[in-house]
Amino acid sequence: MPLMRRDILALPAIVAASSLSRPASAQAGGGVLRIVVGSNLRMLDVHKTTTGEEYIYDVLVFNGLTRMREDMQIEPDLAESWSYSEDLKTWTFRLRRGVKFHGGREMEAADVIANFRRIMDPETASAARSNYDMIAGMDAPDAYTVVFNLSYPYGGFADILSDRQAKIVPREAFGTQATQPVGTGPFMFRSYTPGDRMLLARNPDYFEPGKPRLDGIEIRIMPEMAVRVAALQAGDVDVVWDLGPENVRALRDNRAVRVESIATSTWDGAILNNQTGPFSDIRVRQALHLAVPKADIVELVLFGEGAPTLSPIPPTHPFFAGDVPIPARADVAGARRLLAQAGHARGIRVPIVVPVGRPLRERLGVALQQLGRPAGFEFEVQRVPYARYSAEVSGKAPIYIDGFFARPTVDTALYPFLHSRGSWNTRLWHYNEPRVDAALEAARLTGDVAQQRTHYQAMQRVLAENPASFFAYTMNFACGYRTTVRDIATHPMRWFDLRNAAVAS
């Protein structure tokens, strides 16, 4: 069959049409772009990356078989075209010829197969592993063709190949990616000093003629948002990634700065450990939802730059279960009654861990502390550096604040997080609900949009009854740019496509 885009599988985003313009041609010599972020990159091995700062780097240094544009449409990247069988179980990708890794060797089909085997290997511990568990086998009929054989129909397969970790590196260099990363991307890794900056240089052999325009990129690390914003205003940096909602309002009056804020399916929430007390009891999880109105959280934390949600499906999506009520007011009596039934008549006292250097999530933790108190939730806020989350907090603390960025499809936004065998579920809340598993599995097995909607809405109804966690909101994503920066659009996936970007002298 010919290539056909299944738009309904992608989570929607609102992107101004003017921000998507691209120049007709691109020339080198576009300067060095200085991007500032708030935290260190903890991992350089692209298959193992897990944070937003790392995802920026992923897209600049590496390529996948497909690429997702700012309008959430899929287009060719390392694959120049693809086709699939009538039953959606056999997908054939034709690779571009002449694509070179930064080390000089040409990329070939064997590299693609080796990379996906590595991602799918549990020993790799890639957070993306469960996204590709439908792959039953891979073949390379020749050096420029890869055939994926799936164990079940999956209409969004080309979409998920655009995701952050699904990038191709030399198969002989897996062991050195964490220290000397090599990809095919528009920029090459040069150096990284934690706490200071990462330096990337233009790839002169990039496979798209005339791209990239930039001579290089500096990704600077500045933990304090106030310092990042001041550096942007002073012209010491060119781009601030992930502005806080309060900064959006303040910077819009600065004529030297351009601000873009777009709706996304990125979410924050309180991660509730379903394996240990007190949140192993469904009644305690239900009580928290009665105690804390999500609409109040949106105003307190996001200044209205977001929306309450039931799950990672945002209210703007056609699969959102709009018939499931999200309480607008606190039901203190109902929450206390549930806590008493769970054996906590005097309330619950438990630490709530928040990440240092993530201002929104810190505010979310404090908001939960204040709003939960009348219903008997006594949360002691503990601040922990985000770099220590994986080792000390994730999957261990009874309750902590975290969040995750938009995924390329509804399936990849849900299955890894909510299925009992999902790779993120086993890192986070250890949720096990057979009805949710059944809905997620059924949605994967159909290409019919109406059936997908039915399954996903059923899943949300179960979540309202048996919450896995506290999905607080989906949020807008905002970046600030000096007006000297050209041809960059704010991406709903929170990374940057900088192939055409330039900095005016």
CA 310 to chain centre: 18
Burial-class residue 450 by CB neighbours within 10 Å (0-12, 13-18, 19+): exposed
Half-sphere exposure of residue 173, counting CA atoms within 13 Å on the CB side? 21
pLDDT in tens, 33-49: 999 999 999 999 999 99
Give the mean pLDDT of 100-113. 97
> Is residue 220 scored above 70 in pLDDT?
yes
| Structural tokens at position 143 | 């050096």
Q: Which of 86, 89, 84, 87 is nearest to 74 (CA)?
A: 84
The contacts of residue 302 (CB under 8 Å, 6+ apart) are 245, 360, 473, 475, 476
Q: For residue range 228-252, list pLDDT tens digits in order.
A: 999 999 999 999 999 988 899 889 8
Q: What is the pTM of this model?
A: 0.74
Separation between Cα atoms, residue 152 and residue 167, nearest integer Å: 23
- Supply the pLDDT for residue 28: 61
- Check whether 18 has a pLDDT greater than 50: no
CB burial readout 94-115, b (16+ within 10 A) else e: bbbeebebbeeeebbbebbbbb
How far is 189 from 470, CA to CA, in rounded Å?
38
Give the pLDDT score at 479.
Answer: 96
| Predicted confidence (pLDDT) per residue in 264-319, tens digit | 889 999 999 999 999 999 999 999 999 999 999 999 999 988 999 999 998 988 89
Structure tokens at 261: 């804020």
Residues in the chain: 505
CA distances from 48 to 51, 288, 388 (A): 10, 33, 16
Residue that has been written with the tokens 């909101």 in this structure:
473
Please report how the helices 449-465 and 434-444 are oriented relative to each other, as an axis angle in degrees rounded to 10: 170
Give the phi and the psi of residue 26 in degrees, each rounded to 5. Answer: -135, 135
